[in-house]
Structure 1
């Protein structure tokens, strides 16, 4: 039997260049460092700029490079890992939580969130806004929906002042959620595209591929809160055992590889 025709095809020039560029990224560049412009790179490697763009596009798709508005093409940080396995519960705001609370709002619950919480559609709920970064770059944004009626005030805790910042109100809600002691959670993941607001927070263009992670926190079978998190698909990898879970102050890790 003869060799299949596909096996006889030579390696595309851009693919070979991608391999060479990847080695150069490992040996010559650091995370966040900007690459030379396309003209300089094409001259260095002796290729047409069209071939160079194909190689750069592939490296961006694989999460090795990021194109940042106003900065150019930079070396991407290591991929961030999202644990979707049945590991130990460590709810939002806990010791191992690497997210930063950035604000708070009272807004209508999305239909799926209202259903999970057993509320009428578009019922106003408290929403804690949070951001996850790695090497100083945004990799995920989250809205954590918490019906305040399900979370009584913590004994001895001062209620937030009316003029308290959104961040302070968000931190208070996280504390009240943890005080309830969620004893279970479940997650679902799907591929989506970034809306305008998410794209702005993640320094992406609208329509960029993202991973949409929905987490439901429950106690005694009742859902207490629902998280809708949007992860940059080029910076993430899915994990299933919690081994890559980020610690406070560390980079987080999320990609299907």
Structure 2
């Protein structure tokens, strides 16, 4: 790499790290290939004549935008182009059927976390079956999911299930219900430690969180919280998918009502 300094421009009103991000973005296009490891922070900061804190801000923004990836034991590499990941089928369908591409990796029975209980419009202490699933594309993990199914949604579930049959039995009983509809919300978030491990990312890496509520018999019968890698995925929706923009204040008001 050369030794080009970041030029100061009086006309530029944007923060210094943002201007640096633009310069770095151009360098990624002209000097690096996909998968190539970037020089260390000290060398990059020296090249552009900026503080390492400013450099880190620019690198974090490029990671958020999907241009860079931080990998354990490797460093910061140039990311491949984002792949399109369909959020769901065109027609409403229960998890586990149709063109569902998720793979079950575990299942447990416990009380729903408070935030999940609110999605069911119920109080704390709701017993749920929690199915963990993952999604892999081109040999690469792109998403992890927690599917919460209240015990009352699957009253016909057999007792004394083995670990291997638990998740298939829950999904089978859920699919016996008449699906009346579903809604989805998409938010930007940060990877929790467990999700980061499954996605081969560092904790705190940018992710897209898709929350889906499935309705049957006039109530929420299941909730899926899917965590997608924001550095590799761009979400696509079917013909029936709609995007609703809700201000944060309105979300809080709805949750409180």
Same fold (TM over 0.5): yes
Aligned length: 223
Task: Kindly indicate whether structure 1 or structure 2 has the higher relative contact order, using CA contacts under 8 Å at least 6 residues apart.
Answer: 1
Residue 75 of structure 1 deviates from its aligned partner by 4.2
3-state DSSP class of the match of 2:28? helix
Task: Deviation per CA, 1:141-165: give whole Å up to 9, x if none.
Answer: 21111123322448xxxx5864333
Once the two structures are superposed, the pairs formed by residues 214-253 of structure 1 within 5 Å of their partners are 214-241=211-238
Q: Does 1:81 align with 2:81?
A: no
Q: Distance in 2 between matches of 1:205 and 1:36?
A: 17
After superposition, give the CA deviation of every residue in 1:126-182 in whole Å (9 maximum; x if it has no partner): 11011123333333221111123322448xxxx5864333xx421222222222231
Q: Which residue of 2 aligns with 1:22?
A: 29
- Counterparts of residues 115-134 of structure 1 (less than 5 Å): 115-117=118-120, 119-134=122-137
Q: Distance in 2 between matches of 1:57 and 1:119?
A: 38
The DSSP-based 3-state class of the residue aligned with 2:184 is strand
Q: Closer, same or farther in 2 for the Cα pair 1:8/1:144, shift >3 Å? A: closer
Give the match for residue 153 of structure 2.
Answer: 150
Q: Whole-Å Cα distance in 2 between the matches of residues 8 and 223 of structure 1?
A: 48
The Cα of 1:59 is off from its aligned counterpart by 3.7
**Is there any run of 5+ residues in structure 2 with no aligned partner, and where?**
1-9, 242-257
Q: Residue 162 of structure 2 aligns with which residue?
A: 163
Structure-1 residue corresponding to 2:37: 35
Among residues 196, 212, 217, which one is paired with 2:193 in the alignment?
196
Root-mean-square deviation (CA, aligned residues, Å) is 3.8
Structure 1 residue 12, shift from structure 2 partner: 5.1
Unaligned runs of 5+ in 1: 245-257
Instruction: Provide closer, same or farther for how the CA distance between residues 8 and 227 of structure 1 changes in structure 2, counting only shifts above 3 A.
Output: closer
